[in-house]
Amino acid sequence: MLKIAFYDAKPYDRPSFEKYGAPRGLEYRFLETKLNHDTVELAHGCDAVCVFVNDTVDAFVIDRLCELGVRLIALRSAGFNNVDVLHACGKIPVVRVPAYSPYAVAEHAMALLLTSIRRIHKAYNRTREFNFSLNGLTGFDLHGKTMGVVGTGKIGRILIDIARGFGMHVLAYDKFPARGTDYEYVPLETLLERSDVISLHCPLTDETRHMINAEAIERMKKGVVILNTSRGALIDADALLEGIKARKVGAACLDVYEEEADVFFEDRSGHILNDDRLSRLISMPNVIVTSHQAFLTEEALNNIAETTVQNIITILETGEECPNELTKQYSN
């Protein structure tokens, strides 16, 4: 039986992982704490660790896992910017879930957009207090507007289909354009200048970090709506705040945030939030923040668990080639 230290475990994780893991002989040690320098010792006696986006898997943690006899790092996410994959090469395999439900993330992005521009969140709060006034709830049509989609992987392509269904014109930017499509690819600068709505769907790299900064915002249309359901650090939060205060940015819909690791996925309602930037963003009437929940559908949770379990079995039991192994890709 393979023993798995499952870090940052949440109640919604357990049913799907137990469903797919138990028949394959996996025994989980569900841990509420995140993986970091202080908690890595909890993996003692385990064959693998299962980690999420806000766990710290740096060189120190990787070396200590190897010393503890851990044989695999299994990400239950697509993103892996929190893992020092290069340091892991030749020491311990790292696997991920490259796709689980791109529909979930794309649909959440559109839900955020519609909520924002039609003031659904404000109307909901009003009517719960029997306030049926329409003052201040005027929105605008999406039909005929231009959406700029940055990143045309699976999620970006699905959002393009959704946007076209609303009658929107779509501009696309990607360093590696998708083949066999009729997308109108333009330089990033052109996309920023011409889009009424900009949605980010690209990975976080040194090149994309703070791609939405003060200079980028200055290029945008007045009143632009910015969506981010990808990675928080794609946006410079200070620049976004200034853009909102200057009335350049009309609205921001954020499912991710650069400094989310110590805030998101936890109930902080009884605490004073120490992050002043996040507090200011949440307090603004034209900003909607959700706590990295775009992936959270039953379909996605099942796909994540099924793929993660198969990754673990493939690496630790069958010894076959695993297509989702990052360390194999980076070592080539």
List 292, 298, 306, 320, catalytic entry: 292
173-180 contacts: CB < 8 A, separation 24 or more? 173/148, 173/149, 174/150, 174/202, 177/152, 178/152, 178/153
In the predicted model, what is the mean pLDDT of residues 146-170? 97
Active site residue 292: yes
Active site residue 260: yes
List 107, 157, 258, 260, catalytic entry: 260
Higher pLDDT, 331 or 210: 210
- For the chain, list the domains and their CATH numbers: 2-100+297-331 (3.40.50.720), 102-289 (3.40.50.720)
State the pLDDT at residue 99. Answer: 84
State the pLDDT at residue 329. Answer: 86
Active site residue 298: no
List 87, 96, 108, 231, catalytic entry: 231
State the pLDDT at residue 70. Answer: 98
Average pLDDT, the chain: 95
State the pLDDT at residue 332. Answer: 64
**Rounded to an integer, what distance in angstroms lies between the CA atom of residue 260 and that of residue 263?**
5
Kindly report, residue by residue over 204-253, the tens digit of the pLDDT: 999 999 999 999 999 999 999 999 999 999 999 999 999 999 999 999 99
- pLDDT band for position 123 (50/70/90)? very high
